[in-house]
Chain A
């Protein structure tokens, strides 16, 4: 897909016509404005920090350490969700808009198991087992949701015009959100942390980090490692990569494309379910709209890293998490604006490097 302004200069025909056009049409004004914007942001960061330094009010080191920890925690969650987007996009070329809400369903399922185990007293005596059970149920229920979604809403539309599955996905997202609100009720549900996850670890230098944060980072890295192994080293993973590269050829080689698509949805949803449970433990509260913003931001992370690229999604998630955690303090803006940071980042990436940081073949073709 050729872009409107930039790639014209690759062909000799465009080059000759370039000389005839006045200079101001040859400049990519969008990029210029965006560059000026980035420059202004940098200047603002320097000015703010300089002023704070002058006034001797620089934020202490352990504050920054805490924020980096927060950023990595958020990043781990974003990365896990982003992997689901990337996997599905790599194969079906569609944004599974409802992915964030699949995560929410997992968080609810985990909550009910946790509440049940709490009520029977099981959770007090078997903390680790409880955590494992909550995670497992959250992942399982998310997986079922994702697979049902694919079967009911997406599969019949695989040959439809591009806009159609996208609208379906938006509908599915709102449907899941509303169904959860109506079925489970509107009030916030509170996750009770197991005792070993309460409190914070103090790192050298007096940097605190909530234990749940450390757990989220570790668990997300383990899961990502598992995914990477699955995709790169197993037969199923090989089939997934084959389908992503060329559906027809994969089908001719004996790969069942439908089965691989279902597996892809299942894997993506399992990761989302894990992310949902972790978010529940970390924020200690969940509600039916909790999937919306993380979902969109995870998409941003997937684009940031290069859509269709698995390490890219992980990298993008962590970058986005850090940008959100550090941005408000660096720029001295209220932390409510952190959502704005994510979207601005998305737009900037799409202007400068639409194929993402770790560009893949697919990302380049798409952009």
Chain B
């Protein structure tokens, strides 16, 4: 099987998958003006009111063209001569187009014979098939697919060639240039600018964007905590959401008028954090001796147990959860000005400053004696123990401090939402947090921030495709592990680690 055919089959399979999960249908509801309205902060119903309901092939056609271009580039990337590049792109894309064409012709034949394909494949409606066949008779539409796809594939191959030539020229130009600023200084300036923007912007950008920023910040917080457990100490903790839940529920119980306590937020916050940390440490004890995969399943079980207990326990409101969680109030000393936390802006500041503090703590922890012990344990537990590292103690500390920050995140989450339901705390929260630290780069703090901007921020902007969020996370997890296991912004040590083979496995294989 030549590479071109292989590449065509892969592209075709992917395209069919995209059609099956309904990306085309979704894209037809997506228009440029709709995306623009979303960015301006319009709600779904406002967008629906302002835009005609008729489907619009804008994005789906663009998607097809882009898919063809990229597939052409990928198919051409190995070939040497220009002719070989073009021909392999055309062959690959013609095969992919033919696969789609055959499936579409088949589907339209089924519909013509009154067999409902959408009973099995929900997103493949009769009108979708017709739209995908360019509203032409099935055979003509299929032929069009092959021709269009192959043509744009060839264009993609040509573009790749041009781009490579450009890149060569650019690198030649860059090598003759001298930059006045060192990379480090540029980084500092950029960071300072970003921080300034994040402090000032919330005053101007409206409620919706404040909320998006707040969600991103909360996940940064969660990611930083989980990063301690997974990135620093190498303990794959899938029950992380449990400690988030404990933080949220503790603050809810302590501040909600449904319970006799009715404390203030600031009094309840440390209690929530300590409660989560204690729970984290206690749950760490039975799993001390477990490694890797066993640990993952057991902690996952713990997370579910915590959720189930909250869900079916009348004391914590059962499935209805707890309402009216008190928001914090903050009085600035001397001026006696009280900040009411009644909109998302003050919450954003709270989250922002908490993130900075937690990131600072995480950074210091990583470079401390404890952090180095964690690294040693992550690399090789037996060797670390032989070197005098008290693995029991530092494992519990990792679980405890991770849970501590999860509790903090949960507490802020609860008072920001002002109501919590047990089903806010499913395993998916853990998976989200895991995905963002993996994508950013395990053990890397800037990675956590980039990860949550990409994973939490982007789906907020592209709300029509938010339905595909989890699927995309999952695919990203797999693809990242296959292609770039160290993440987008890898931590220095991880960068080395992932490049080498696992010594433990080598021993295992050779024994």
Contacts and interface: CB of A to CB of B under 8 A. Distances in A.
A159 B502 contact: yes
B123 A171 contact: no
Contacts of A303: 294
Interface in B458-487: 467-468, 470-471, 473-478, 481-482, 485
B502 A183 contact: no
A93 B438 CA distance: 22
Contacts of A156: 482
B121 interface: yes
Nearest to A367: B289
Contact of B470 (A1, A2, A178): A178
Contacts of A162: 291-293, 502, 504-505
A343 interface: yes
Contacts of A219: none
Contacts of B300: 296
B33 to A, nearest CB: 26
A198 to B, nearest CB: 24
A203 interface: no
B502 A161 contact: yes
A240 to B, nearest CB: 17
Nearest to B302: A343
B128 to A, nearest CB: 13
The majority secondary structure among interface residues of chain B is helix
Contact of B286 (A4, A30, A93, A339): A30
A234 B377 CA distance: 43
A157 B438 contact: no
A45 interface: no
Given A4-B289, A162-B505, A343-B305, A183 B123 contact: yes
Contact of A153 (B20, B236, B473, B478): B478
B502 A184 contact: no
Contacts of B238: 170
B510 A95 contact: no
Contacts of A5: 289
B22 interface: yes
Nearest to A95: B293
Given A182-B21, A340-B305, A115 B297 contact: no
Interface string A155-196: 011011111111110111111001100111100000000000
Contacts of B435: 171
Contacts of A173: 474
Contacts of A168: 477-478, 481-482
Contacts of B296: 95, 97, 166, 170
A156 to B, nearest CB: 6
A112 interface: yes
Nearest to A174: B474
Nearest to B285: A30
Contacts, number: 170
Given A4-B391, A162-B504, A334-B312, A175 B121 contact: no
A277 B17 CA distance: 24
Contacts of A334: 312
A63 interface: no
A144 B26 CA distance: 29
Interface string A10-51: 000000000000000000001000100000000000000000
Contact of A339 (B292, B308, B471): B308
A247 B122 CA distance: 44
Given A4-B392, A340-B309, A354 B21 contact: no
Contacts of B510: 248
Interface in B484-511: 485, 497-498, 501-502, 504-506, 508-511
Given A4-B289, A166-B236, A339-B304, A178 B119 contact: no
B475 A175 contact: yes
B41 interface: no
Contacts of B290: 350, 354
A299 interface: yes
Nearest to B469: A178
A347 interface: yes
A296 B475 contact: no
Nearest to A246: B511
Interface string A325-338: 00000000010110
Nearest to A168: B481
Given A2-B382, A159-B505, A351-B286, A343 B478 contact: no
B234 interface: yes
A224 interface: no
A299 B292 contact: no
Interface string B24-62: 000000000000000000000000000000000000000
A348 to B, nearest CB: 9
A105 interface: no
B298 A159 contact: no
B21 A179 contact: yes
Contacts of A93: 508
Given A162-B504, A162-B505, A296-B301, A183 B481 contact: no
Contact of B289 (A94, A172, A354): A354
Nearest to A172: B478
Contacts of A157: 481-482
B297 A171 contact: no
Contacts of B428: 174
A3 interface: yes
B132 interface: no
A355 B427 CA distance: 27
B298 A171 contact: no
B358 interface: no
A296 B286 contact: no
A167 B285 CA distance: 23
A72 interface: no
A97 B431 CA distance: 13
Nearest to A183: B20
A184 B300 CA distance: 27
Given A161-B497, A174-B471, A350-B287, 18 more contacts: A4-B385, A4-B392, A30-B286, A153-B478, A159-B509, A166-B292, A166-B296, A171-B477, A175-B478, A178-B474, A182-B122, A248-B510, A296-B301, A334-B312, A339-B304, A342-B301, A343-B302, A354-B290
Listed from nearest, the 9 A-B pairs whose CB atoms lie closest are A171-B477, A185-B122, A343-B301, A175-B474, A174-B474, A178-B471, A182-B21, A171-B478, A161-B502
27 contacts: A1-B291, A4-B392, A30-B286, A152-B478, A153-B478, A162-B293, A166-B236, A166-B296, A170-B238, A171-B435, A178-B468, A182-B468, A183-B123, A184-B121, A184-B122, A248-B511, A299-B297, A334-B312, A336-B308, A342-B301, A343-B304, A347-B298, A347-B301, A350-B294, A354-B289, A354-B290, A367-B289
Interface of B: 17, 20-22, 119-123, 234, 236, 238, 285-294, 296-298, 300-302, 304-305, 308-309, 311-312, 382, 385, 391-392, 428, 431, 434-435, 438, 467-468, 470-471, 473-478, 481-482, 485, 497-498, 501-502, 504-506, 508-511
